[in-house]
Amino acid sequence: MFQPVLNNPVSKTGMSVPKGKLVAIGGNVDKGSDENPAHTGRVNFFEAGILQRILSEIKGRHSLIEVVTTASMIPEEVGESYVEAFNRLGCTNVRLMHIKERKHTLNPDYLHRLKEADGIMFTGGNQSRLSEIWGETELLSLLHERYLHENFLIAGTSAGAMAKSNTMICGGESSESLYKGAVKMGLGFGFVKDIIIDTHFVVRGRFGRLAQAVATNPGSLGIGLGEDTGVLITSGHYVETIGSGLVLIFDGQHIKHNNIADLPEGFPISIENLMVHVLAKGNCFDVSTRTFIPQTEFMI
């Protein structure tokens, strides 16, 4: 298991090192159903996979998990699927937060529940709903505080994963994504800085979408998550691949030619020397040094 050892609570950038953990999942996480494609011709990642890993990073089957369905248009159905999935793993302390409007965030009961929880799971759906409803709320401020100062885990799949960073992809069709303006950006939750996360990455062919996002924000690192695949982020900058598929990391720090700033809307972009890393289960990446790490156990 990935276990970075911290010698200093301050990072190389001078920022405080978060004590909490983030899990970003690319969508269609295997919940243990017989018809899930992750069970066909692959290792069964349900028992030793993403949801199990989420529990093992906090209190195991005794963890108290809050599942937030804000992003979904079918919140009851989606929420219950996660309750059932965690129950199969022996975790029965799972509660649902159907926060459908911004005014619902003012309910003091939700604030109390988030203070009690060991972790929170944001489901998939529309990431813009997350930023519009949760942005600049007391609930989000509490999550930031707990993530910074406690062993608190914040997980999210699909939209819930994309909203984790300060810069978030809001939309853009894959077929048009290498034309300027086709990718729409917005503000996310800001748990991590200078990272842009895209999901359903391989199946939906979103290579061009993330490439344009990084070209527009070359100081940021792009993380493309395959389905039933995720990353565990510890100490704010160590990324470990978990799940059954692949993670692609786009590094724009060595870009030479990049014409996106000079183009009119709708024109094709060109980028030279965009670096791409491909990570499988267990591979790691240090965001602060932009370094690929094959093994999952190391000292810092």
Positions of the chain with pLDDT lower than 70, given as ranges: 1-15, 29-48, 296-300
Query: What is the per-residue pLDDT across 271-286, written as a single tens digit (0 to 9) for each?
Result: 999 999 999 999 999 9
Per-residue confidence (pLDDT) for residue 3, from 0 to 100 = 41
Strand stretches in 158-251, DSSP E:
167-171, 184-187, 195-198, 221-225, 229-234, 238-243, 247-251
Query: What is the per-residue pLDDT across 6-46, written as a single tens digit (0 to 9) for each?
Result: 444 555 545 689 999 999 999 876 665 443 434 333 333 34
**Domains of the chain from N-terminus onward:** 21-286 (3.40.50.880)
Q: Are 199 and 225 in contact (CB under 8 A)?
A: yes
Report the alpha-carbon distance of residue 129 to residue 36 in Å, rounded: 27
Strand stretches in 149-237, DSSP E:
153-157, 167-171, 184-187, 195-198, 221-225, 229-234
Q: Which residues contact 107 (CB under 8 A, 6 or more apart)?
A: none
Per-residue confidence (pLDDT) for residue 46, from 0 to 100 = 45
